[in-house]
Amino acid sequence: MKYGILNKLIIVTMAAGGLIFLEVESGFVTASQTKHARADKDEREVRDLMEKYLELFNAAAAKEIAQHIYAAPIQHTSKTGHGAVTSTAEVQNMFDNIFKQIKARGWVRSHTHSLDVLVLGDGLALVELNYSRIAGDGKPIPPDRRAGLYVVKKIDDAWRIVALYGHDATKKLQLATEKL
């Protein structure tokens, strides 16, 4: 069954005693095609957000990350377990501390191995990021590979990270594409 927006226009005119049919575009846009196009757009926007995040992370820009990438309150995992920060100022402080700690270990930049995006529905996506932290000598800071699962939500027409969960990079998550 076809439904959705008709994007077919047929112009019928009389000319020299006969009918002329002019077809200007053909076909229907179905609801599933519209949904797929929206998911593609959302995936591009989430990917753009994550690429901006990685750029800001490599610049150690804690304030910009807190203001433009994350949306407090956020939930996260850390070496000590699960935690939450409830304000933009706390997000900035968290990243200031992260940068202080990793710079003390020789960090100069991070390298992305993979970035997988799964749009779950209107305004919600998961991102799995696999990366390495690189020292000044060009070698990875142990552990060589790291991974995080980010929950990204559309808030006021802008995508923002609302949760981050670190996990074992050797066990790549399988982002399910079927609804439960």
- Domain that residue 162 falls in: 37-167
In a domain, residue 172? The reply is no
Query: 70-78 and 9-15 as β-strands: parallel, antiparallel, unpaired?
Result: unpaired
The residue with greater pLDDT, 127 or 16, is 127
pLDDT band for 10, please (50, 70, 90 cuts): very low
- pLDDT tens-digit series, residues 17-33: 444 443 434 344 455 56
The CATH number that applies at residue 116 is 3.10.450.50
Measured in whole angstroms, the distance separating CA 69 from the mean position of its chain's CA atoms is: 10
Residue 26 domain-assigned? Answer: no
**What total number of domains does the chain contain?**
1
- Residue 16 contacts by C-beta under 8 Å, 6 or more apart in sequence? none
pLDDT tens digits for 36-58? 778 899 999 999 999 999 999 99
Model confidence, pTM: 0.78
Residue 45 lies in a domain: yes
The reported pLDDT for the residue numbered 27 is 41
Task: Determine which helix (DSSP H) or strand (DSSP E) holds 51, and give its type and residue range.
Answer: helix 31-58
In a domain, 13, yes or no: no
